[in-house]
Amino acid sequence: MRTRLVIGAGLVALTAWGCGDDGGTGRSASGEAGARAALVEFSDAFLDSKYDDACAVLTENAKRKIARIKPCPEALKLTRGLIEADQLKTLRDKSRKVKITVDGDKATVDSITKDAKDQSNLVREDGRWFVDADS
């Protein structure tokens, strides 16, 4: 069970990456610009080992799921520690091309890993986009 939770936290982290110019509108923007800004913020914080900042971009739902392993920052640190440096660079590069599909206040991020089934969700709550975990 613990292994599945670590893997689940890793999938939240690994598949929730994206990047690109948000035009300075940030996570408050509607549509793809805001969703992408949330992915950029999460991705940059995670890859730069700023785990508190990365956790701030997660929904409460995602934080609860991750907290089954350890508190959010510690779980993300553990997850990042499992990824080799060359994989981080590859993932950072691939994340620049990730497709985001927005439907109102929800968005789906296509997988950037080899497993096409891995997708991440984003939601817009209180006017800001957040990275979410699967329901």
Q: What is the pLDDT of residues 61-117, one digit of tens each?
A: 999 999 998 999 999 999 999 988 888 877 766 666 788 999 999 999 887 666 556
Asked whether the beta carbons of 41 and 19 are under 8 A apart, the reply is no
Q: What is the pLDDT of residue 15?
A: 44
Confidence check: pLDDT of 49 > 90: yes
Domains identified in the chain, total number: 1
Q: What is the pLDDT of residue 133?
A: 84
Confidence check: pLDDT of 20 > 80: no
Its pTM stands at 0.76
What domain range includes position 90?
2-132
Query: If you average pLDDT over every residue of the chain, what do you get?
Result: 79
Q: What is the CATH number of the domain that holds 44?
A: 3.10.450
